[in-house]
Amino acid sequence: MSTVFVFNGPNLNLLGTRRPDVYGTTVLADVETLCREETTRQGLDLDFRQTNHEGVLVDWIHEAGAAVKQGTALGAVLNAAAYTHTSVALHDAIEGAELPTIEVHISNVHGREEFRHHSFVSPVAAGIVVGFGVTGYALAIDGLVRLRRPTRSV
């Protein structure tokens, strides 16, 4: 069975308590459950992770890229959080690992502070899901599947 990686960046461990007016009250464990339900529905395995450390995300991207090349993974859903707006390293890792990636954001970053309007991830992402709350994770997984399994009707 093929795996979908879901990587979460800094402060997402605080989901449900940090800025519930922006990010809602759902906790990260519930997001993992949502993702597991979607991957199970799609006949896939899930590898769900969160870190506050940029270098760890880079290592995970390399790992996922290798798994895609080995044929054991479809790609990744990435909520890079604040690193979206600051990390050339994540951009270069996704590009270098040739990792099919769907960028996801819980809030509509384009309706927020101007510094959140720029993403270093977007230019190397296969797709972007923004502003659908935590439901965006399931949408991103479905989008990844549709992009990576072209025989499935869109």
Whole-angstrom distance, CA of residue 1 vs CA of residue 76: 15
128 assigned to a ligand binding site: no
42 backbone dihedrals φ, ψ, rounded to 5° = -90, -5
Catalytic site residue from 62, 83, 91, 105: 105
Whole-angstrom distance, CA of residue 122 vs CA of residue 4: 19
Known active-site residue 137 = no
Catalytic site residue from 23, 83, 91, 137: 23
> Is residue 97 within 8 Å of 61, Cβ to Cβ?
yes
> Is residue 78 within 8 Å of 104, Cβ to Cβ?
yes
107 assigned to a ligand binding site: yes
Known active-site residue 117 = no
92 assigned to a ligand binding site: yes
79 assigned to a ligand binding site: yes
Residues making up the annotated binding site for substrate are: 79, 85, 92, 106-107, 116
- Residues with a catalytic annotation lie at 23, 105
